[in-house]
A and B are shown apart, each in its own frame.
Chain A
Amino acid sequence: MLLWRGNIDMTSTTSAAKRIDDNNKNDRTNRAGIRGWLNPIIYGWERVSYWFQRLTGIFLLVYFIGHVYETSSLVSGPDAWAAMLELTQTIGGHLFLILVIGASTFHTINGIRLIFTQSGQGLGKPGRPDYPYDPTSVNNKQRSGLWIAFILAAVAMLYGANVLFSGE
């Protein structure tokens, strides 16, 4: 479908078609496209949650594969196990594990929120769309769930840092 804005001179078919084409080109330049879809700022915290859920999911999948590979060194004996374990006994290794703790906590809590949301819980009652058209589904229940996920992830990271850096 062709879309254009403004007045079009219909006396000349060629010039009208050209102006439609120019307007379409202009429209395309105004479209954010995939960059707009990726932008976490303009769509609010719900988009941040969307991205965090996916990023933490991919990060945890990579960690899971690495963890399975890491523990497979057990079958090669104590020396191989100790050599593999040394990788995580550094400051960098500890920081990586703290990130894993934070990511898994956020992914879990936000995942539970999403299960409730997708089963229709906490979405509010549907109503007539009135100005300023705030969707009832994006409400305080949803936002507080998101904040709980962030706060618990931070608490879990602090606890993990305490255990890893104190060695207890």
Chain B
Amino acid sequence: MTSSNFKNNSNKRTRWFTNITLLRESQITKIHYITGISALFVVAIHILMRLIMPFNMSLEFENVILNYKNIFYALLLESILVLIAIHGFNGLRVILLEIRQTLIWERAVNILVIVAMIGIIAYGTRTIIIANGFSVG
């Protein structure tokens, strides 16, 4: 690889919608790894919360609502939601960009994953907020 090629590649950034450059692919990959590793820890806590009592009992409505009313657990659920949404939809983006490499396809995939990511985070956050304010019994 020549130095000019290297310079061109190092300046190559993901162009999300138009010609505005937001992040380099190397930065997105690092975000992918960080969200993946972080999700591992928070999901482990989420699963352990289901196993501290008999599994079926832990899924009873009152128990689940009590979990949501705990502000720390609610924040944990929100972090799971955000981390997995970013990791999952970026993973989908990578797979779709491996299939085809045209500018239109790349832009369409980028828009699709960002909209889906925002949509799922908004929908999950709505559940957490409403369940957090739910009154039991």
Q: Which A residues are within 8 Å of any B CB, using their own CB?
A: 54, 57-58, 60-61, 64-65, 68-69, 71-72, 74-75, 78, 81-82, 85, 104, 108, 111-112, 115, 118, 163-164, 167-168
| B65 at interface by CB-CB < 8 Å | yes
- 27 pairs from A and B in contact (CB 8 Å cutoff): A57-B91, A58-B92, A58-B95, A61-B89, A61-B91, A61-B92, A64-B84, A64-B85, A64-B120, A68-B124, A69-B123, A72-B126, A72-B127, A74-B61, A74-B64, A74-B65, A74-B127, A74-B130, A75-B134, A78-B61, A81-B61, A108-B36, A111-B36, A118-B29, A163-B51, A164-B55, A167-B56
Most chain B CB atoms below 10 A, which of A58, A65, A68, A81: A68
Q: Which of B68, B81, B124 has the most CB atoms of chain A within a 10 A radius of its CB?
A: B124
Q: Count B-side interface residues using an 8 Å CB cutoff.
A: 31
A57 to B88, CA, bound (A): 7
Known pairs A111-B36, A167-B55; A72 contacts B91 (CB<8 A): no
- A115 to B54, alpha carbons, bound, how many Å? 36
Alpha-carbon gap, A61 to B93, bound state (A): 12
B105 contacts partner chain A, Cβ-Cβ < 8 Å: no
How far is A65 from B124 in the complex, measured between Cα atoms in Å?
Answer: 9
Is B118 positioned at the interface, with any CB of A under 8 Å from its CB? no
Contact A81 B64 (CB under 8 A): yes
Q: Which residues on B sit within 8 Å (CB–CB) of A54? A: 95
